[in-house]
Amino acid sequence: MDGRVDLARILAEIRAMAAFDVICLQEVAVNFPGLPGSAGEDEMAILAAGLPGYTPIYAPATDLPDGQGGRKLFGNAIFSRLPVGQVWRHLLPWPSDPAAPSMQRVLVEAVVQAEFGPLRVMTTHLEYYSRRQREAQIDAIRRLHAEACGHARQPRMGKGETGGSFEVFERPAAAILCGDMNYPAEAAERARMLAAYGDGTVDWRDSWSVLHGEAPHAPTVGIHKVDWVDRACCFDFVYLTDDLAPRLRAHHVDTETMASDHQPVWIELT
């Protein structure tokens, strides 16, 4: 919140909260000196070096020339100290909306092996300025989840090979989806995300509501003064599939830290 990019400080904040099995981050930049507070650091390299024992997974959404023969990247990341299976990087829809500033968005999906079994962990950062684009991105995420549930029910055929490109890895139905959704809890977009499928696809649940019912969501933005929201509210959600809801033990929001204009959110599963 002081306008200074300091990856060591961000890592210290993460470590102070908990010894996480999986860490999901948004707005991770590589070679992007034009971003406020940045000197063009390779943030993925710094974060990976500061998280030994974690598998780093990067999914750039924005990939642009830097004018000097290189590329500048901006996107989302997952760091997992659980074993990681297959990884997917899904560019989300970006329908034209010329009246609103916008950028390409991405969903990164990784299968991790928890003590209780495999699950998919996904993180994203939906468009803030355009509701049309945000709704298209929600619909795409829901389609990708339905696709994954189809793979879980009927695993794809391989070629009997080991180590080749057709090798089959598990894509389970159980999943967690988290990130900056850029809508408040009462918005129609949240209801759109949580709508029942009715076709055998495992439905999404809001982890806050699983534990707190109809109680208002703890705010994740606007606690500390920012110029882009006029009140404290929740923009950052953790959704989990219905089969994981019985394993949910806690949903935390750190309301004190000023490491970001969004408050950190995390859950505990057993």
To the nearest whole number, what is the mean pLDDT of the chain?
A: 96
Q: What are the E-state strand segments in 1-139?
A: 22-30, 55-65, 71-80, 84-91, 106-114, 117-125
User: Whole-angstrom Cα distance, residue 42 to residue 40?
Assistant: 7
Pairing of strands 117-125, 175-180: parallel
User: What does the pLDDT average to over 240-266?
Assistant: 97
Can you tell me which residue has the tokens 């939906």? 126
Q: Is the pLDDT of residue 156 over 90?
A: no
Q: Give the pLDDT score at 227.
A: 86
List CB contacts of 152: < 8 A, sequence separation 6 or more. Answer: 171, 172, 173
- Both tokens of 35, joined, read 């971003």
Tell me: the pLDDT tens digits for 211-231?
999 999 999 999 998 888 999
User: What does the pLDDT average to over 77-91?
Assistant: 98
User: Whole-angstrom Cα distance, residue 22 to residue 78?
Assistant: 7
User: Whole-angstrom Cα distance, residue 249 to residue 50?
Assistant: 28
User: Over the Cα atoms of the chain, what is R_g?
Assistant: 18
Global pTM reads: 0.96
For the domain 7-155+169-269, what is the CATH superfamily, name and number?
Endonuclease/exonuclease/phosphatase (3.60.10.10)
Tell me: the pLDDT tens digits for 100-132?
999 999 999 999 999 999 999 999 999 999 999
Q: Is the pLDDT of residue 87 over 90?
A: yes
User: Whole-angstrom Cα distance, residue 10 to residue 7?
Assistant: 5
Can you tell me which residue has the tokens 């904040």? 13
pLDDT band at 159 (very low <50, low <70, confident <90, very high): confident
- Both tokens of 170, joined, read 């598990």
User: What does the pLDDT average to over 244-262?
Assistant: 96
Q: What are phi and psi of 120, to 5 degrees?
A: -90, 135
Q: Give the pLDDT score at 253.
A: 97
Domain segments of the chain as ranges: 7-155+169-269
Q: Is the pLDDT of residue 3 over 90?
A: no
Q: Is the pLDDT of residue 160 over 90?
A: no
